[in-house]
Amino acid sequence: MKREGWFAPYVSSYFWRFLLIIALGALTIFSASSLMYTSGFLISKASIPPENILMIYVPIVGVRTFGTSRAVIHYVERLVGHDTILRILSNMRVRLYRILEPQALFLSSRFRTGDILGMLADDIEYLQNVYLRTVFPSVVALLIYAAAVISLGTFDIAFALLMALYMLVLVVVLPLISLFFTQKRQREVKQARNSLYQKLTDAVLGMGDWVISGRQSQFVETYEADEKKVARTDAALRSWARLRMFIGQAIVGIGVLTLISWASGQYADGAFAGTLIAAFVLVVFPVADAFLPVSEAVEKIPQYRNSLERLSGVEEDNGATAHAELEQVNLEPVEQLKSSSTHIQLRNAGYRYDTGEDWSIRDLTLDLPQGKKIAIIGRSGAGKSTLLKVIQGAIKPAIGSAVINGIDAAAYGEKIPAIIAVLNQSPHLFDTTVANNIRLGNPQASDEDLKEAAALAKLDTLISTLPEGYNTPVREAGQRFSGGERQRIALARILLQNTPVVILDEPTVGLDPRTERELLATIFTAMAGKSLVWVTHHLVGAEQMDEVIFMENGSVEMRGTHAELLKREPRYRRLYELDRPVSL
């Protein structure tokens, strides 16, 4: 059922276009066949002595028409076909996006390995072949098959039935046999190729280690051995494909002989004119051209399976992880949410992802009135990300509560970005201009607002040095800029978003100390008056916070202002000294 989910709906919604494509496809073959048919008829007719030029006028016109129309129809067919498929792909993309969108905050943890998002996008591209390479050619072949049988039937029903059976070998039997034979091998090749891909990516990413280990040649050796295995299976597939082609052609050749004997019999019986012998024999070749590719088209079916399975897998998972839609409380309009002062409170909040697993956070109490700034520190797995998700209402605490202005945080749903902005470790810069990237924070912003935000983020000098200023493209994933510059662009973006609360999720990881300090200074100045929840891995800047919270194993290990902790906690003192080496 699920598998059809990515295939069937498009057939019905594009039914008429599909019909047109198939009709044009059939007409293409029809024209080519008619050319040979009328040509055969024409020269036979012309060779009968008493004929004169007028008698062959009609077939001459026919030959010329069919000769030119095939190319035109085929051209139109291909254009219509591709246009339709691109429309379908566009629908599929939107659909995949809508499936993934609700789980946006959980994607990175769910799809850890490899670039699964890129793979899903490729899967959709690949599905265009289902229609162009498999469905259309097969249906066209079936249509031509029917037409051929019917037109033979008008002459001789018994022979038409015989030929129907015979042609069935080409149109159905051979493709099915081929599918049956190759299915397993094709799957093997596909799997083997996937594992080669894994293996190679692994090795290339760990190239430094391989080089240092001095075992490179060992890797190349085992890799090549695996490649050889795939090559063997692949060779078997290819050799079958060649043999299949030969078998198909042999069937065609025997078909020609059958038609010759039938046509000569008909002629001898006086059932039809001698001119039709050549016509019937010559038409076999173009008709066979429609039938022969069916095997290859059908053989491709197993190849689509992976893509379809991956896509429907995403859909099913989504069903499992999607939280029951929370009843949306009547909230103030977005504008009001933005301007009102916001008070976030967590009371003894606890959460775990699965019953039986350890608590990700437990007994967490937090009070964040408008303008308060807190830093959260802890090692990975201490529960920092879960805490942030609870504050954003992306997950609802299993015990205790998380409320924003007295209303459950989770109830804000889609409106959360009006209250809380997030600057994380690697904010995505979209492949467009600097201005467009900043404006994502607020599409209605005027150019002045935009410039003001950029100035607050201390981007103005950088932007003035760019070749096209604000309209300079950032390139894929913001490659034009350094890590610190990317963070500033993202900072300008959330300044434009202008929310009362800002979450900073380790925004300075990977930056060198000077860049880190400069960026933090800019952030804290620009964030004046806003509530801040700052998850950090270093203690630089902790003194600027109203509260510092140390998390360990899901709960608060120590908390207080920087000064208090420095005085009270030797552990804190030691860590702080490492970051700001006073003892040096």
Q: Which range binds other proteins by CB under 8 A, 1-9, 120-128, 149-157, 446-454?
A: 120-128
- Least separation in angstroms between residue 180's CB and other proteins is 21
Please tell me what DSSP assigns to residue 290. H
Please tell me what DSSP assigns to residue 134. I
Residue among 200, 301, 331, 407 that touches other proteins (CB under 8 A): 200
Q: Which range binds other proteins by CB under 8 A, 5-13, 127-135, 294-302, 535-543?
A: 535-543
Cα gap 458→445, rounded to integer Å: 18
Q: Which range binds other proteins by CB under 8 A, 10-18, 129-137, 273-281, 321-329?
A: 273-281
* Residue 51 in the binding site for other proteins (CB under 8 A): yes
* Residue 488 in the binding site for other proteins (CB under 8 A): no
- Least separation in angstroms between residue 68's CB and other proteins is 6
Helix ranges (H only) for 360-505 are 384-391, 434-439, 447-456, 460-465, 483-497
CB 352 within 8 A of CB 360: yes
Q: Which is nearer to other proteins, 252 or 308 (CB)?
A: 252
Q: What is the 3-state secondary structure (H, E, C) of 532-555?
A: EEEEECCCCCHHHCCEEEEEECCE
Q: Which is nearer to other proteins, 146 or 477 (CB)?
A: 477
Q: Which range binds other proteins by CB under 8 A, 15-23, 365-373, 462-470, 491-499?
A: 491-499
- Least separation in angstroms between residue 178's CB and other proteins is 15
Site for other proteins in 285-304 (CB under 8 A): 285
Size of the site for other proteins (CB under 8 A): 167
Residue among 380, 444, 446, 465 that touches other proteins (CB under 8 A): 380
CB 478 within 8 A of CB 472: no
Cα gap 340→419, rounded to integer Å: 9
Place of tokens 């002062």: 341
Between β-strands 531-536 and 344-351, what pairing exists: parallel, antiparallel or unpaired? unpaired
DSSP 384-421: HHHHHHHHTTSS--SEEEEEETTEEGGGGGGGGGGTEE
* Residue 403 in the binding site for other proteins (CB under 8 A): no
Strand partners, 498: none
User: 205-234 mask for other proteins (x: CB under 8 A)?
Assistant: xxxxxxxxxxxxx-xx--xx--xx--x---
* Residue 323 in the binding site for other proteins (CB under 8 A): no
Please tell me what DSSP assigns to residue 307. H
Q: Which helix (H) or strand (E) holds 349?
A: strand 344-351
- Least separation in angstroms between residue 535's CB and other proteins is 10
* Residue 132 in the binding site for other proteins (CB under 8 A): no
- Least separation in angstroms between residue 49's CB and other proteins is 7
DSSP 203-254: HHHTHHHHHHHT-HHHHHHHHHHHHHHHHHHHHHHHHHHHHHHHHHHHHHHH
Site for other proteins in 76-95 (CB under 8 A): 78-79, 82-83, 86-87, 89-91, 93-94
Q: Which is nearer to other proteins, 401 or 524 (CB)?
A: 524
Q: Which among 89, 300, 46 is positioned nearest to 190, based on CA atoms?
A: 300
- Least separation in angstroms between residue 338's CB and other proteins is 11
Q: Which among 501, 504, 567 is positioned nearest to 375, based on CA atoms?
A: 504
Q: Which is nearer to other proteins, 129 or 401 (CB)?
A: 129
Site for other proteins in 436-475 (CB under 8 A): 440-441, 443
* Residue 101 in the binding site for other proteins (CB under 8 A): yes
* Residue 277 in the binding site for other proteins (CB under 8 A): yes
Cα gap 460→465, rounded to integer Å: 9
- Least separation in angstroms between residue 399's CB and other proteins is 25
- Least separation in angstroms between residue 160's CB and other proteins is 20
* Residue 75 in the binding site for other proteins (CB under 8 A): yes
Residue among 151, 191, 249, 321 that touches other proteins (CB under 8 A): 249
Cα gap 353→496, rounded to integer Å: 34
